Amino acid sequence: MAQVGGFPPFQTAGNGGAHDGNAAIDGEVVGQGWRMALEIKSTHDDIVRGLGQLAEALAHGYDSAALVTSLRNGQAIEVGGL
């Protein structure tokens, strides 16, 4: 795991990703007593699939989850009910 600035260590999942249930995530951030799943999506990737992978990670014990994508993709996501 690599320490970046004052942030907790970040661990990439390597080839094939870290597997949680049926999903694979791109990486994780590990703090003292918590873990965050990371899913990284380019403009050509399926954002909905990424959200599904993060939901699966949360169902399998991650404390939080983050989707990292481009500004264009982020602006296109509509969040209802919040």
User: pLDDT by residue (tens digit) across 40-71?
Assistant: 998 888 888 898 999 999 999 999 999 999 98
77 contacts: CB under 8 Å, gap ≥ 6? 47
User: pLDDT by residue (tens digit) across 3-14?
Assistant: 444 555 555 555
76 contacts: CB under 8 Å, gap ≥ 6? 47
The lowest-confidence range among 9-13, 23-27, 33-37, 76-80 is: 9-13
Q: Which amino acid is at 48?
A: V
Structure tokens belonging to residue 77: 């996501």
**Model confidence band, residue 74 (pLDDT cutoffs 50, 70, 90):** confident
